[in-house]
Amino acid sequence: MSAGNLKSRHQQPTPDDVEPGDSVRPGHPVQVSRYTVAARINHWVTALSLILLALSGMALFTPSLFFLTGLFGGGQWTRALHPWIGVVLFFSFAGLFLRFWKANLPAREDGTWLARISDVLRGREERLPEIGKYNAGQKFVFWGMSGLIIVLIASGIAMWDQYFYAFTSIEQKRVAVLVHAVAAVCIICVWIIHVYAAIWVKGTIGAMTRGKVTGGWAWRHHRKWLRELVGTRPGKRPPTPAE
Amino acid sequence: MFPPIPNPSVASDAATPRFGEKDILRRSASEVTPPAQRLTEVAKLIDVSKCIGCKACQAACLEWNNLTEEIGFNHGVYTNPMDLTPDTFTLMRFTEWVNPETENLEWLIRKDGCMHCEDPGCLKACPAPGAIVQYSNGIVDFQHDNCIGCGYCIKGCPFNIPRISKVDHTAYKCTLCSDRVAVGQGPACQKACPTQAIVFGTKDEMKDWAELRITDLKSRGFANAGLYDPPGVGGTHVMYVLHHADTPSIYAGLPDNPRISPLVDAWKGVTKYVGLAVMGFAAAAGFLHYVVAGPNKVSEEDEENAERLADGTPPPAPPAGLQEGRTP
Ligand code: HEM
Ligand code: SF4
Ligand code: SF4
């Protein structure tokens, strides 16, 4: 990297929602790098564990889904594996948390975005404020998952009788199992929202598969972030503010 | 004396079980049509006032069920081991209690073990189809082939009875010797008891016998003598005659008013229905939204604007009043 690049990069501090690896490549269409390879692997490990946890957990949640234990090699295996997958999820999500927490801090435009949620749902993006790397909905998913995973690991350990039977009273175990079941329902709903949003907003899934989105996608959904990226592109003067 | 159960017949048909699959009243995590005719309910009556603490029953239980308890430590008390284990289905619990009225030290000895509840919390909590069954004679039995070792039964039981084996990871507890009862015998513990502190028969017989014992105890000055057949769990098929039936908890923590915990009821009841409904609703809402609103697509114009921004040609400014970003 040349000295000039370094200097221009240091002219302004990196905004919270610009993460390492985020960059714009001009072209037709413009390509925007949104997730590094490491972030994508981290994401898919988390996603896979969450899905396996939901399947194995739901098998025990209701008799009508007990047949799902077949996917894990039977009831005994399901019972034994589920908590270990939970441990994988916990550490894998911790990785995502460290990567993404800063970009998910609340911003002023989140309030406006939420107040205009009906425009969001109608896809009328022109009536919404310019958004950074994540909108308020994505931040809700992020913080929701973070909180619920802490609740799930804590309650999960309290009901993990194979290793932790002696550490809690039966009454505490009853609370834990109820909390765990409720938190599981909540996290599955958050997950449905998350997956649905990725399907509904076309061009999103590429962000987590190839790591890239098109410039148009970033312009439409995360314009503030795109402007910041163009501004921080090495060797390029930031455009004059639009006011 | 309660007429003892005669020794088994040696006739060849005597070993045919008298109840089985067709008599299942409840089956964990399954819907069953209850049998048209209910078997006569059986019960074991434990008369605490007659028990001499010899542990013959505890030994007979190990013997009949072919269990070997680990050699433990002497904790300076008669209770041994210190708690029920996957190998100890029944345990004599010893309590030294000073009667506040008489200032007398009373040695309370209670034979702990599964109560064979009419409304079993273990069965309610169990997620594995058929891991716990209740026969129409009242016996609650664990079926080890179906058990997944999750320990939910422990959370469901109001008496803290089931224990999970570290060897085969399935739950164990007193079976009320369902195998012996099926061929017309009483449980092994009852057979071994030298004082008739344990008797076995139909539930009605046991209640009648308890009545006689209670009258006797009352005549000897135990004004609060009574039968422990707790209504909170619909009654039990193991009952106690207690000399202080007004305070069951002095007998090594026998619950005064056992019932399935409201937490377990909420977990196994409303949480399941509401939970499934909410998840179904979320999925359906997503589907409907897609149908109504259609996909959210990036337009040609969006791409052109992005290209202009990246090239440095100023793209259109954001609409007035919407620029509120926390730009540094
Ligand atoms: C984060 C770490 C987690 C741990 C340590 C954990 C542990 C456990 C344990 C010990 C059980 C009892 C059954 C068994 O022993 O396998 C259980 C049940 C369950 N888990 Fe988890 N779990 C975790 C995460 C999750 C997640 C993320 C979900 C949902 C996606 C989930 C959903 C469930 C459900 C639905 C049940 C059944 C609850 C019921 O029977 O009502 N768990 N979990
Ligand atoms: S451990 Fe208890 S609750 Fe779990 S499957 Fe076995 S009998 Fe049922
Ligand atoms: S005492 Fe506990 S283990 Fe026995 S039947 Fe009642 S709930 Fe089940």
- Domain residue spans in chain B? 21-259, 271-311
Judged by CB atoms closer than 8 Å, whether chains meet at A30 and B306 is answered as: yes
Mean pLDDT across the stretch A196-200? 97
Question: For residue B316, is pLDDT > 80?
Answer: no
* B170, containing H or E segment: none
Q: What is chain A's mean pLDDT, rounded?
A: 92
pLDDT value at A239 more than 80: no
Residue type at B269 in one-letter notation: G
Note whether residue A99 is domain-resident.
no
The single-letter code of the amino acid at B30 is S
Query: What tokens does B171 get?
Result: 């739950």
Contact B309 A196 (CB under 8 A): no
Q: Write the pLDDT tens digit of every residue in A55-95.
A: 999 999 999 999 999 999 999 999 999 999 999 999 999 99
- Locate A167 and state its tokens: 């550490």
Q: Which amino acid is at B225?
A: A
CA dist., res. B328 & res. B323, Å (int): 13
Q: Which of A21-30, A143-152, A160-169, B309-318 has the lowest mean pLDDT?
A: B309-318
Is pLDDT of B327 > 50? no
Q: Could A200 and B290 be called an inter-chain contact, meaning their C-beta atoms sit closer than 8 Å?
A: yes
- Residues of chain A contacting residue B154, judged by C-beta atoms under 8 Å apart: 161, 170, 173
* Residue A49 lies inside a defined structural domain of this protein: no
What secondary structure does DSSP assign to B34-96, as a single string? PPSSPPPPEEEEEEGGG-----HHHHHHHHHTT--PPP----SSS-SSSS--SS-S-EEEEEE
Closest Cβ opposite residue A214 in set B155, B303, B327: B303
pLDDT over 80 at B213, yes or no: yes
Among B14-28, B112-126, B199-213, whose mean pLDDT is lowest? B14-28
Give the end-to-end CA distance of chain B in Å, rounded to a whole number.
92
Of chain A, the percentage scoring pLDDT greater than 90 comes to: 87
Q: Residue B18 Cα, ligand 2 centroid: separation in angstroms? A: 26
Residues of B with Cβ-Cβ distance to A200 under 8 angstroms: 286, 289-290, 293, 295-296
Cα distances (angstroms) measured from residue A11 to each of A5, A16, B328: 10, 16, 12
- Between CA A179 and CA B96 the distance in angstroms is 39
pLDDT for A75 equals 98
Mutation test of ligand 1: which of A46, A48, A50, A53 has the most ligand atoms closer than 8 Å to its C-beta?
A: A53
Whole-angstrom distance, CA of residue B199 vs CA of residue B45: 5
User: Which residues of chain B are within 8 Å of residue A165 when distances are taken between CB atoms?
Assistant: 151, 164
SS3 B147: coil
Residue B305, pLDDT > 50, answer: yes
pLDDT, residue A1, reads 39
SS3 B158: coil
Provide the pLDDT for residue B318: 59
Give the closest residue to B127 by CA, choosing from A115, A63, A65, A108.
Answer: A63
Which residues touch B159 (CB under 8 Å, ≥6 apart)?
B114, B115, B117, B255, B258
Any bridge partners for residue B310, and if so which? none
Nearest CA in chain B to A78: B148
For residue B111, list its beta bridge partners.
Answer: B92
- Answer yes or no: is A230 within a domain: yes
Q: What is the DSSP letter of A243?
A: -
When divided into structural domains, chain A yields a total of: 1
Q: With contact defined as beta carbons under 8 Å apart, do B165 and B64 qualify?
A: no
Annotated catalytic, A194? Answer: yes
- Cβ(A18)–Cβ(A28) below 8 Å: no
Q: Give me the pLDDT at residue A44, please.
A: 98
DSSP H/E element including B199: strand B198-202
SS3 B184: coil
Both tokens of B146, joined, read 């179906």
Is residue A104 predicted with pLDDT exceeding 70?
yes
Q: Is the separation of the CB atoms in B145 and B158 below 8 Å?
A: no
Contact assessment for residue A131 and residue A222, using Cβ atoms and an 8 Å cutoff? yes
pLDDT at position A3, please?
A: 42
In a domain, A119, yes or no: yes
Burial class (CB in 10 A: 0-12, 13-18, 19+), A6: exposed
Examine residue B262 and say whether the peptide bond preceding it is cis (omega within 30 degrees of 0).
no
Instruction: Identify the CATH assignment for B21-259 out of 3.30.70.20, 3.40.190.10, 3.30.930.10, 3.10.129.10.
Output: 3.30.70.20
Beta bridge partners of B226: B242
- CA-nearest residue to A111 within chain B is B324
| Whole-number average pLDDT of chain B | 94
Provide the residue range defining the domain that includes A229. 1-34+104-134+211-243
Distance of residue B252 Cα from the nearest chain A Cα, in angstroms: 17
Residue B216 has pLDDT above 90, yes or no: yes
CB B51 within 8 A of CB B197: yes
Helices A170-200 and A37-61 sit at what angle, rounded to 10 degrees? 130
Q: Report the residue from A29, A126, A162 with minimal CB separation from B303.
A: A29
Please give the average per-residue pLDDT across A130-144, as a whole number.
Answer: 97
Which of A43, A82, A180, A194 is labelled catalytic?
A: A194
Report whether pLDDT(A241) > 70.
Answer: no
The pLDDT score that the predictor gives to residue A233 is 63
Q: How many CB atoms lie within 10 A of CB B165?
A: 15
The alpha carbon of B153 and the centre of ligand 2 are apart by a number of angstroms equal to 5
Full-prediction pTM beyond 0.95? no
